[in-house]
Chain A
Amino acid sequence: MVTYIKGRGDRNLRDLVDLETGVVSREVYVNEDIYAQELEQIYGRAWLLVGHESQVENPGDFVLGRMGEEEVILTRDRKGQIHVFLNTCRHRGMKVCRYDDGNALVFTCPFHAWTYDTDGRLVGVPHHHDAYFDELDKSQWGLAEVAQMCNYYGSIWATWDPKAPSFEDYLGPFKQTVRWAFQASDGTDAGVELYKPAQRWRLPSNWKFGAFSFAGDSAHAAMTHLSVNAAAIGPQGEVEGGGRHPLAAPFPSKRGYMSSRELGHVGQLAIYEQPGVADYRDTWLLEPGVDDYWRETREIKKQKFANEFLHMQSDGQFHIWPNATMSDWRILMWHPHGVGMTESWRQYQVDKNAPKHVKDAKRRYVMRYCGPAGITESDDMENWNYAHPASLGMVAQRYPYNFQLGLHHNHYDERIPGVTIGDRGPSEENQRARLRRWVEFMEAGSWDDIFPVRKNGKSNGKPRGGNGISSSW
């Protein structure tokens, strides 16, 4: 169990993260020893989003992905089975694949030509007969494969820990939310594909600045994105003030911050006052014919879900612990790349069956919204960037971060069990939920300590706090 961190005096992690008062040491974000422990305790253990089946449609297709700091190969073998392998030769460590994507019969290491099948088996070793004397057991030296992998409605998740719970159990109350993110606009499950390729870039900031802010920091928008509406990037152009989001018809619902304190997943999503789906409102006013498609698929979706409450399954974004943020149109990955660097990835979903002009219009919208050239996201980068160096100083670290927005103003709602809700304005509850799970992962000796219940009987898996008032632990 790793409770203490090195640094300037050994301190208990719970002294660094005080969620009763909403005060968190800057060291959590900038301390190198803490970062080194995160790679092992969090990235070596959690389920991580690797990619999507549409990236490897055909046998032999592969694309490079990332789990924590390490590069992996997402591939589909000749029998059609999807795999996730660490991208390193078992002989001397060279990357066996240095192409971003493509189709391969085998992966041949350029160092000594050890050769692996697309299912990971070591199938070729030079000198196997004449110098290894047939004594090398190739079956023991295949590519390192993840301990568990899950294809969840087309999205591919994996963990290095064989003791991790099933992916569905890991998601808990966010099962339907992730399912929704990969539904086509007509409600068809696994109905999307990803545009290719991922946008990948380096943000000089700890990974948690992005990962713990997204889907939990609406308080930033007014100031951070003050300049965005000047650009009128929404598909409706200048109409109604030139907002950056598409126009949408009203539907009786309430947006809130929803946190699984037990699991660390959070969302800025909606609870509905009535079943069904909102009407479609035309918004692609600059792109003839595009609204026709979305209007048609919305009608199908409305019929399909006419009697269902789509709580937490539309209208918003969410974050799956530890580093995957998503909605039904984009996926934001925050890969750790050193304590002070994040490799940020963006990928975007689109209906598999949408006509080309619809795919094109949406693609151009996401490109101008997101990523390092994104008219919206570029503002975030500056803030996350410079929060990091300004937190490094010896004196700076005497002053903890404030996570008190909305503290103790959350409640439970029987309509969406398993999550706390903050719906009285901006709240940092979703950030606190991730920090709570962060401490648990950092302390845990194994999955037994953190799933399904917390040790010391502090959780029975049900919401705690009673009376609608939250407590920290």
Chain B
Amino acid sequence: MTVQSAETAWERMLLEREIERFLYDEAAMLDERRFSDWGDLLAEDIHYHMPIRRNVKFGEQHRENTDTESEISWFDEGKRTLMGRVRQLNTGVHWPEEPFSRVRHIITNVRVLAVDGDEVEVSSNFFVWSNRLRDECVMFIGTRNDILRRDSETGWKIAKRLILLDQNVLLAKVFSTFF
């Protein structure tokens, strides 16, 4: 780690706190089922991508995560269909979330990796717990790599989100929340 001036370190800390707060507020929106509010956090050009994770041979790690250019992923979409998912959740007849599950997003290990003008690259880990009906429990653990964009009028927007879920065969019957 390079030695930073006090001023730089201070600015960096403020930025990290701001980003953390944004990610925690976002998580709360999902946990509190304020899906439409969550949708407002998405940039119009968001790319939301959760690849499938392969078991690959040593030396082929570049193939571990399915790519968005030619391969099948769990999620690989933009704002239009994400907002479609929000509308579906809000119908009250989307059966894997009717009645709603108890979902909790634990967001940790937040790191600002790079700053480029109005955009920051942020890495964070997640533990998403879902408890449904009487006793159905599902855990999703993984990491995210986000590009967050500062919008001077409306605050931070998610411009890009890569979600690496630490599973191969998915051990849940559906994805009925966002990550």
Contact = CB atoms under 8 A, between A and B. Distances in A.
Interface of A: 98-102, 195-204, 224, 226-228, 230-233, 237, 286, 343, 348, 356, 359-360, 363-364, 366-368, 371-373, 375, 378-379, 381-383, 385-386
B130 interface: no
A251 B154 CA distance: 50
B72 A363 contact: yes
A375 B57 CA distance: 33
Contact of A202 (B50, B60, B171, B175): B171
Contacts of B54: 99-101, 197
Contacts, number: 124
B173 A385 contact: yes
B96 to A, nearest CB: 4
Given A201-B172, A202-B173, A381-B174, 9 more contacts: A195-B71, A201-B171, A201-B173, A202-B172, A228-B88, A231-B88, A375-B81, A375-B85, A378-B174
A373 B74 contact: yes
A98 B170 CA distance: 17
Contacts of B175: 372-373, 378
7 contacts: A204-B173, A360-B69, A364-B77, A367-B74, A367-B76, A375-B84, A379-B95
Nearest to A231: B84
Contacts of A202: 169-173
A100, A196, A226, A237 interface centre (most CB from chain B within 10 Å):
A100
A372 B84 contact: no
Contacts of A196: 66, 70-72
Given A363-B72, A382-B95, A102 B60 contact: yes
Most buried by A among B56, B72, B84, B168: B72
Report the contact-size class of chain B (Cβ under 8 Å from the partner): 35 or more
A373 B75 CA distance: 7
Interface of B: 50, 52, 54-57, 60, 66, 69-77, 80-81, 84-85, 87-88, 90-91, 93-96, 133, 168-176
A387 to B, nearest CB: 12
B81 A368 contact: yes
Contacts of B168: 100, 200
Contacts of B91: 226-227, 230
A379 B177 CA distance: 13
Given A100-B54, A231-B85, A200 B170 contact: yes
A326 to B, nearest CB: 16
Contacts of A359: 70
B66 A200 contact: no
A379 B176 CA distance: 10
B69 to A, nearest CB: 8
Contacts of B72: 195-199, 348, 363, 366-367
Nearest to A347: B72
Nearest to B71: A196
Nearest to A371: B74
B44 to A, nearest CB: 14
B6 to A, nearest CB: 46
A440 B50 CA distance: 43
A348 B52 CA distance: 15
Contact of B172 (A102, A364, A372, A379): A372
A383 B57 CA distance: 38
B87 to A, nearest CB: 4
